[in-house]
Amino acid sequence: MRKYLLISLLLSILFIHTGCEIPTYKKENLEQSVIDVCKKEYNISDISVSKTGKTLYIYLKLDNIFLDSLDPSAESRRKLEDILLTTSRVCMSTNAEIDFYKIVASDDKNPGLQFIITRYIQDLTRFILGDISRGEFSLRLDINFEFNPILMGSSLIKYFFEDLKKENVSSIMKKYFPNNVNLSNVSPIIYSMLSELSFRKERKFEIIELKSRRLTEQKAIIYCKTHEIYTKTGNTLLKDFLFPEDFYNEYLFIINIANYPKVIEKILSFYTINTQGKLDYIGFPKEFSQYSELNKWEEDLLGEVDLSLNEFLAKQIEHRILTEFKQNKKLISFYSVKSVTGEFNQEKEIFKFNIDIIKNNSPEAMNLLDNYYLDILKSTIEIATYVIRRYEIKNFKGIEFYYKPKDKKIYLTPDLIENYKKKKITVKEIDKA
């Protein structure tokens, strides 16, 4: 799908006109201009546009964007290509300061899963001027799937309480929590509540209030207030239930999409069990007490940020490494990719890459030496330094590569990068340093 989308964009982008000195689309009406062009020329009206700093966001919902796989359907691709072309035209012919645009497509049938396309505007300019090749231009378009922790968490919580009406504790545990979790240790009061389910009949869980707050790109906390009603079954041996038969309860769900598909990391209660085995209200969980003023929560459903070039490049390098090890036939015969992640640490001003690529059990891989990981690091270093050099990045202090299978860490300063480029130092020497 990615090749199809890229080729279509490459062909269509040739028709962009960039020679006008007078801006076609004024900065005062930039967002509306994208909406108007999409409506007038492509009959696409179901989009919204917003601007954060120098990053333009375009949102759209597509029916059945994901069919049997994570590749968008043909109809979805057509709309995405039209919006890509429109946004490129507008951004190249405006007096607004725009560095990036991000197109965010979602499907209500897959809550929280988003298909995101990110383009750096200078790459468009350089391609049109012939400064970069078509192949390089395609590698610079970031196409990715992301999970929105608030949207995904909120949807899952609704399903969670629906299942509490009819499921038993074992099925709830299996469906919503990691296999190795011991909920009695993590949250005794939640475990007690779940354990009582089989002794309740006519269970009702009504969500009264749901508020969310994003913590990081992957994590969010969601406050949930419920009205819970049940009657006791006649065959229970329990003398007393922990929760009354008509009760207003409060929970704090910690959502971490790194644990997908079971993204509920914790469920914290606003109650504790006292020495008499009764409930005491303690209020907002201490672990997140800094967020206790719910009236000050501002829901960041979209997670918009003003994207920096170094952050964009960290993700681009991540995807280039993945592409190299997943598509290079020679490398495929030797190695298997478990994960590759990249980020730019703004505080330390360093690029960081975690590499989890393992040796295969193939006949070819059996002949690899014990220091085979140096070849993996060599490939990742060359990809990262190539990208940083081509973008002429100067505002960083180093690049850190962590190779997880061998617990090896390599750190390159700009001086080391320059020496490596001039072949004055090897990966093996850097590893020993």
- Report residue 237's pLDDT band, with 50, 70 and 90 as the boundaries: low
Asked if residue 214 is part of any domain, the answer here is yes
Six token digits for residue 391: 């973008």
In a shared domain, residues 267 and 351: no
> 247, 265, 296 — which closes off a domain?
296
Six token digits for residue 269: 């209660």
Q: Quick one: average pLDDT of 324-335? A: 92
Position 39 scores a pLDDT of: 94
Position 202 scores a pLDDT of: 83
Q: Any alpha helices (H) in 245-308, and if so which ranges?
A: none
Widest CA span in the chain? 83
Residue partners of 39: CB distance under 8 A and separation at least 6: 45
In a shared domain, residues 172 and 292: yes
| pTM for the structure as a whole | 0.80
Which CATH number characterizes residue 191's domain?
3.10.450.50
What confidence tens digit (pLDDT) does each residue in 276-297 have? 888 899 999 999 999 999 998 9
Report how far residue 267's alpha carbon sits from residue 186's, in angstroms, rounded to the nearest whole number. 9
Q: Any alpha helices (H) in 111-230, and if so which ranges?
A: 121-128, 134-139, 149-164, 169-176, 183-186, 188-195
Asked if residue 160 is part of any domain, the answer here is yes
Asked if residue 333 is part of any domain, the answer here is yes
Sign of the CA dihedral running 383, 384, 387, 389: negative
Please identify which residue in the block is written with the tokens 């090890």: 325
How many domains does the chain contain in total?
3
Burial-class residue 21 by CB neighbours within 10 Å (0-12, 13-18, 19+). Answer: exposed
pLDDT over threshold 60, residue 20: no
Backbone angles phi, psi at 342, to 5 degrees: -135, 145
Report how far residue 192's alpha carbon sits from residue 212's, in angstroms, rounded to the nearest whole number. 25
> 245, 275, 296 — which closes off a domain?
296
- Rg over alpha carbons for the chain, rounded to the nearest Å, is 26
In a shared domain, residues 76 and 189: no
In a shared domain, residues 71 and 102: yes
pLDDT over threshold 80, residue 302: no
In a shared domain, residues 23 and 131: yes
Check if the beta carbon of residue 307 is closer than 8 Å to that of residue 100.
yes
Domain range for 327 is 309-432
Q: Quick one: average pLDDT of 24-48? A: 93
In a shared domain, residues 181 and 268: yes
What confidence tens digit (pLDDT) does each residue in 131-142 have? 999 999 999 999
Backbone angles phi, psi at 61, to 5 degrees: -110, 135
Position 70 scores a pLDDT of: 62
In a shared domain, residues 74 and 187: no
Asked if residue 303 is part of any domain, the answer here is no
Amino acid at 430: I
Asked if residue 301 is part of any domain, the answer here is no
Position 3 scores a pLDDT of: 45
Six token digits for residue 245: 């038969």
In a shared domain, residues 285 and 357: no
In a shared domain, residues 274 and 322: no
